Amino acid sequence: MSTINTEHFWMPFTANRQFKTEPRLLKAAKGMYFTSQDDRQILDGTAGLWCVNAGHGHPRIVQAIQEQAATLDFAPTFQMAHPLAFDAASALVSIAPAGLNKVFFCNDGSEAVDTALKMALAYHRARGDSGRFRLIGRERAYHGVGFGGISVGGIAGNRKQFGPALSGVDHLKHPLNISLNAFSKGEPEHGAELALEFEQRLLATHDPLTVAALIVEPIQGSTGVIIPPKGYLKSLSEICKKYGILLIFDEVITGFGRLGSAFAADYFGIMPDLMVLAKGLTNAAVPMGAVLSRDEIYDTFMHAAPQDQIEFFHGYTYSAHPLACAAAIASIHVYREESLFDRAATMSKAFEIAAHRLRDCPNVKDIRNLGLVCGIELTPQVGKSTTRAYDIFHRCFWKKDLLIRTTGDIIALSPPLIISDDEIDTMFRKIAEAITEQSAE
């Protein structure tokens, strides 16, 4: 293995010093597999970071990016544009839930979250309702790392280093309840009533007329796969409608087939006002985020400003970057041509069966799954939270040639949608081995 100088790269969300003692390096990828620096084929149980839904190095996406780089490397989209920006927006709308017809591009999920929050605030103001300044998120929510995202997010660890962040934010409880719903397959039975605390506690405390938007991940992914109880999201949506509060779905993880439908909004049959996207939008080959908006929101902005004035004072140098647009168009084409969303729905049964076989492994206290997402929650080691799951992650990478993701003491799985039956069996068998070996030590 060639030696590399690890001194200069300050790694994100990583224990830098620990990592640099034994770097886990990936040097290539194709389909379901990474190639590690020491030439092992590593089965990707996480689609990179919930993002490579069509598998790695898809030739159609690679070609689109290569051709685009040679044709138009960059063009500004402030008071200028290039055709692919419009084509990418149209491609996205063609698979989006009916009614979400306008697309604002940015570069990742965090920017898309902050864009959606700003859009919600500015929308109410454009309607002459500028008293709506409050944003509501949920405990254990992850909405990226911008100041908006960490404010509506519900993870103390992501906030505590950075001062007070946004004011006027409050949080709903999260709906994970292992004592009632352990080992649920799909949507848990218990907990829909937790949605009611939005109306009974938060709106009663704050006055609904001050609330601009509620943002939720349909499935809370990053904090350990929290699946909404049956009826819960529908109740939230009804409360939002009743009080004129915008509902933002953060579909950065659930978008692009993860649940076996194009978006979680389709899966749950709920129409949000704004939808936050990233990751699978370009199959992660080029960074890109987007906010999908209802027509009425866009129209409100258009009517509120004179024809020759900017309607929304927001945007990024790389909004609708040509390479990202090319990758998005190609990815959406691949998803459609290869029926990958239907494939995810079909494979989700085998995935669920294989996941729940781990129920009797030592220290497994919950398994929860929906579509091609699964969380396996472990009992923490006494006095040492996260170490059990980290050991299993480490063991999977070095000894089992498998990439998994862990958060706290939870293993989170989200493989590319192209995973085969054999690969599903292999992935869960290796995890079971790693859990058992770890427990024996």
138 forms part of the interface with ligand PLP (CB under 6 A): no
Most distant CA pair in the chain, distance: 70
223 forms part of the interface with ligand PLP (CB under 6 A): no
143 forms part of the interface with ligand PLP (CB under 6 A): yes
Q: Smallest distance, Å, CB 373 to ligand PLP? A: 11
Q: Which of 217/273 has CB closer to ligand PLP?
A: 217
Write the binding mask 277 to 316 for ligand PLP: x where contact by CB under 6 A, - elsewhere. Answer: -x--------------------------------------
Pick the binder of ligand PLP from 44, 114, 250, 266 (CB under 6 A): 250
Q: Which of 123/142 has CB closer to ligand PLP?
A: 142
Distance CA(263)–CA(261), nearest Å, equals 5
Residue span binding ligand PLP (CB under 6 A) among the ranges 24-32, 82-90, 142-150, 184-192 = 142-150
Q: Are 366 and 377 in contact (CB under 8 A)?
A: yes
Distance CA(71)–CA(172), nearest Å, equals 48
109 forms part of the interface with ligand PLP (CB under 6 A): yes
405 forms part of the interface with ligand PLP (CB under 6 A): no
222 forms part of the interface with ligand PLP (CB under 6 A): yes
114 forms part of the interface with ligand PLP (CB under 6 A): no
Residue spans of beta strands (DSSP E) within 139-194: 169-172
Residue span binding ligand PLP (CB under 6 A) among the ranges 69-77, 93-101, 215-223, 229-237 = 215-223
Q: Could you write out the three-class secondary structure of 388-416?
A: HHHHHHHHHHHHCCEECEEECCEEEECCC
Residues 6+ apart with CB under 8 A from 337: none
Residue 259 half-sphere exposure, CB side, CA atoms within 13 Å? 25
Q: Smallest distance, Å, CB 108 to ligand PLP? A: 3
Interior angle at CA 124, CA 120 and CA 126, nearest 5: 110
- Within 269-339, residue ranges assigned H as helices are 295-304, 322-337
Computed from CA positions of residues 311, 85, 70, 31, in that sequence, does the dihedral angle turn out positive or negative? positive
User: What residue is closest to ligand PLP based on CB?
Assistant: 109
The pair of structure tokens assigned to 170 is 């409050």
The SS3 call for residue 270 is: coil
Q: Which of 244/315 has CB closer to ligand PLP?
A: 315
Q: Which of 203/226 has CB closer to ligand PLP?
A: 226
253 forms part of the interface with ligand PLP (CB under 6 A): yes
The closest of 281, 263, 404 to 344, measured between CA atoms, is: 263
Write the binding mask 69 to 88 for ligand PLP: x where contact by CB under 6 A, - elsewhere. Answer: --------------------
Pick the binder of ligand PLP from 36, 110, 151, 363 (CB under 6 A): 110
Q: Which of 97/208 has CB closer to ligand PLP?
A: 97
Q: Which of 221/322 has CB closer to ligand PLP?
A: 221
Angle between helices 83-95 and 322-337 (to 10 degrees): 30
Please give the residue ranges that form the binding site for ligand PLP (CB under 6 A): 108-110, 113, 142-144, 217, 221-222, 250, 252-253, 278
